[in-house]
Amino acid sequence: MTNKLRTLGMMVVIAGFTMLPSVKADDWDEETSVTLNAPTAIPGQVLQPGHYVFKLADDDADRSIVQIFNEDQSHLIATILAVSAYRSEPTGGPVFTFEEQARGPEGIGKWFFAGEQSGVEFVYRGTER
């Protein structure tokens, strides 16, 4: 009977560890829902007012690939190669900074992750700034 309880206990522990990554999925990909009230530039295009979801791509080798989806994530709008960005103090929620563009609407400059000092910076070609 003792071996059966020990085996059952190990199975519960293993099942708990197996489910752990799904609990932290939002932390891993930094999924952030955004509502834009005005046209907003991202590298290569302009997002119209609406609801969007920003995520880091599921790529262990490069944590600077940003994917932008529509609100229900049924359509990938853009995949952007960004560069690492850092700030001195983290905030409780995600922070986006905006930058004036030479032509067109303001563009997203940086996206800092909730509770972290790290984030990503969007890089625009010379003609976009």
pTM: 0.74
What is the predicted pLDDT for the residue at 101? 87
Beta bridge partners of 111: 96, 120
pLDDT (tens digit, 9 = 90+) per residue, 44-77? 999 999 999 999 997 766 678 999 999 999 999 9
pLDDT (tens digit, 9 = 90+) per residue, 1-32? 555 544 444 443 333 333 333 223 357 789 99
Q: Output the CA torsion sign for 113, 57, 22, 20.
A: negative
CB neighbours of residue 113 within 10 Å: 19
